[in-house]
A and B are shown apart, each in its own frame.
Chain A
Amino acid sequence: MNTPLSGTGRLADDLYLVAHHEITGKPHLQPRALGLGLAGGLLGELMLPGAIRLKGGLVVIGDGTPPGDALARSVLSQIGGEREDLAARDWLLFLARTAAGDIARRLGQAGYLTRTAGRRFSRTPRWVPAGPDCAFAPLVRVKAALSTRGPAAAQPLLLGGLAAACGLGHQLALYLPPGAERHLEQAARYLDPSLQELIAQTQAAVDSALLTHRL
């Protein structure tokens, strides 16, 4: 297998892998929740290097260097192309429509997912992890971030926070040591406030979808 366990290094890619079964590729979430979580991941990929910021609940362009990959650049140019600054919730809902497919294709290009023919009566192709260890690795990264002494790196904490926000808490509870969820919540408080807000906005969007029967 030529794909390293360290993954692509991209937040949304890791979140995608956590959100799907490491062998069958079946999602652990309802489609809308998955989309919203991955949308949060895409926004997070731009927020970590400072290419965008959250200001008063609105997504604004920042001064940081944008990431190199095509999908992140495309999201950034969409944000930059709008006439006015839109609320984080609007971007989450907008990106949620296409996030899963886009990220699956990105992972496919990087060799972490392979495309298989869909089920007999379904036209959509299924993406299956190329190897279960690589699919499982993001959870190991979250666990490692929680066990380090001293301040943990932002990306694995953000990954854990977004995973919990879109409804993967039960997955985290299965594979992380007991008490890890609470530890994650506490550690997340040391994240940059705008990253914490991203997690909160994602959670609010998912809960709202559940309550309005869209989920």
Chain B
Amino acid sequence: MPRTHTAATKPGSVSRALARDRLGVPAVLFFVMAGVAPLTVAAGVIPTAYQTTGLTGIPAAFLVIAVILAIFSSGYVAMTRWITNSGAFYAFISRGLGRVTGVAAALLAYSFLQVGLYGAFGPNAASEAATHLHVHAQWWAWALGAWAVVTVLGLLRVDITGRVLGVLLCAEIAVILAETVSGLAHPGGGHLSFATLSPTALTSAGFGTFGVLAVVAVLGFVGFEQAPVLAEEARNARRTIPVATYFALGMIAVVYAGASWAMAAHAGQAHVVAAAAKQGPGLLFGLGGGALSQAAQVLFLTSLFAAALAFHNCVWRYAFALGRENVLPAALGRTGGNNIPKAASLAQSVTALAVITGYALTGQDPMTRLFFWLVISSPRRAVVSV
């Protein structure tokens, strides 16, 4: 059958059909923001950061880091054009620094991040249950409960559907914005201070201050780099991926800078560190009144759980990809029934179990030692590798 090979002037029915199935900016943006888990950072990381670092320049740091990451992103998304590999971070790093570094940077970073989330879920679930349900159990019991559910869902490969994640995400952002507005409307001392947004706050305790704040701020942005994972499935990768990435950066910067500023303004710049030490995530919840505060607390727990499941799924996908390439044992690259890479899923579950048990046995504080340390150290590792 003769066939002309001149370039088609308009896409045929196959291309049209495939294009309909592809992802646009909103879908990619939702995927990215779901991985960012905004309430986890706003209620989990920011107060703990105030408490642990003792520094007040966190709002300014978010804005500065957003600019720096935007500059980094221009190179990062440009690489997507040349390296379309769903391993994204691993693929880019391994091209530059070799496979072993690629594995260490990406897989360990996300793995530790995932485990660290149980360190926030545990104590917060315990205190909620004690207050409202009068059930008293240790933080690690709740953490292990969440771990068990994530393990089972991870083996059945039940993802939280995109729709549910989308709804949760919108609710989280709405709640954070509401708390922010409420906090800014009731500043401590009666007058709203912009001091924590100013660049001078970045070097308040010497030059090293910026380094510490930068690490915290970068943590808030972890997840924004996931857009290139969907490059192959995006409608127009050259446009969709960069637009979604910059949009995500902008949203994250505004939401977190706003929330951390509201916390400092509400408590008063001189008192925010002490308030954070005393209230923990309550530093965010307390910005608003009863119902808002309660809704925020419940959403915080769902946010942590959703983030734990999302990153669990992220980690086993990395392990699967690396098993397929024989960088890691090939068993991780095999799928069982329903296309589930059970070995990869179990490997992450076993890691998480070992870490939670270790922290429980050694009696360390889960929020500052498990959540903050592991979750903070992962972006540091990733930042250093890049």
Chain B proximity mask over A51-82: 1 for CB below 8 Å, otherwise 0? 00000000011000000000000000010111
Report the interface size for chain B: residues with CB under 8 A from the other chain. Answer: 35
In the complex, whether B69 has a CB less than 8 A from a CB of chain A is no
Cα separation A208 to B6 with both chains bound (whole Å): 30
Cα separation A82 to B18 with both chains bound (whole Å): 14
In the complex, whether A207 has a CB less than 8 A from a CB of chain B is yes
Cα separation A28 to B12 with both chains bound (whole Å): 33
B135-143, B182-190, B227-235, B279-287: which one contacts chain A? B227-235
In the assembled complex, the CB of A88 is this many whole angstroms from the nearest CB of chain B, namely: 12
Chain B proximity mask over A193-215: 1 for CB below 8 Å, otherwise 0? 00000000000001110111111
In the complex, whether B7 has a CB less than 8 A from a CB of chain A is yes
In the assembled complex, the CB of B206 is this many whole angstroms from the nearest CB of chain A, namely: 44
Residues of B close to A90: CB separation below 8 A: 14-15, 18
In the complex, whether B320 has a CB less than 8 A from a CB of chain A is yes
Chain A proximity mask over B296-340: 1 for CB below 8 Å, otherwise 0? 000000000000000001000100110010000000001111110
Give the contact-size bracket for chain A. 20 to 34
**Chain A CB within 10 Å, residue with most, of B1, B321, B334:** B1
Cα separation A208 to B157 with both chains bound (whole Å): 16
B88 to A, closest residue via Cβ: A211
Residues of B close to A86: CB separation below 8 A: 12, 14-15
Residues of B close to A215: CB separation below 8 A: 339
In the complex, whether A106 has a CB less than 8 A from a CB of chain B is no
Q: Is the CB of A84 within 8 A of B7?
A: yes
Q: Is the CB of B320 within 8 A of A211?
A: yes
Residues of A close to B335: CB separation below 8 A: 167, 169-170, 210
A91-99, A114-122, A124-132: which one contacts chain B? A91-99
Chain A proximity mask over B351-375: 1 for CB below 8 Å, otherwise 0? 0000000000000000000000000
In the assembled complex, the CB of A37 is this many whole angstroms from the nearest CB of chain B, namely: 10
The residue that B233 contacts in the complex, of A28, A206, A214, with Cβ under 8 A, is A214
Cα separation A86 to B11 with both chains bound (whole Å): 11
Q: CB within 8 Å of A: which of B1-23?
A: 1, 3-8, 12-15, 17-18, 21
Q: CB within 8 Å of A: which of B138-180?
A: 157, 159
Point out residues on A near B: beta carbons under 8 Å.
28-30, 33, 60-61, 78, 80-86, 90-91, 93-94, 97, 167, 169-170, 206-208, 210-215
A-B CB proximity, top 4 nearest: A211-B86, A83-B8, A167-B339, A82-B12
Given contacts A81-B13, A211-B317, 10 further A-B contacts (CB under 8 A): A60-B3, A86-B15, A91-B14, A167-B339, A169-B334, A210-B317, A210-B320, A210-B339, A211-B320, A214-B233
